[in-house]
Structure 1
Amino acid sequence: MQNVNLKVQGMSCGHCVNSVEGAVKKLGAAAKVDLGSGTVAVDFDETKVTLDAIKESIEDQGYDVVS
């Protein structure tokens, strides 16, 4: 398992949290959004999903992954 913290812009409410966490969960990974810091902590198995795929799934929800 790998853990990364991503800086994500554009999240501001509970809907944002559900959108991001749900999109990541569909890939078989786990995400925890922290609205205060604008970060998403992601735990994933790098043999099953790539970090790029996770970033893309977040961006597909309308948010910008900046790091």
Structure 2
Amino acid sequence: MSVKTYTVTGMTCGHCVSSVKEEVGEVAGVAGVDVDLATGRLDVTGDGVSDDAVRQAVEEAGYKIAAT
């Protein structure tokens, strides 16, 4: 298993965190999701997780992944 880290912008509350966790958790290959509201950090644990799929899931939740 590997861990990929992203920065999510636009989250302001616990509901935001829950929405991101729920959407990203449904991405194929994802085994775990950890979101830190204060830093916007999103850690995704899994195998063969697509960056594009994670980005799409975050956008589905209503947020953006910061450009790297």
TM-score (norm 2): 0.84
- Structure 1 residue 9 corresponds to structure 2 residue 9: yes
In structure 1, the residue matched to 2:27 is: 27
Query: How many aligned positions are there?
Result: 65
Runs of 4+ residues over 6 Å off in structure 1 = none
Runs of 5+ unmatched residues, structure 1: none
Identity, in percent, stands at: 37
CA RMSD of aligned residues (A): 1.3
Runs of 5+ unmatched residues, structure 2: none
TM-score (norm 1): 0.85
Q: 1:8-59 CA distances to partner (integer Å, 9 max, x unpaired)? A: 100111111110000111124121110111111111211xx41210111111
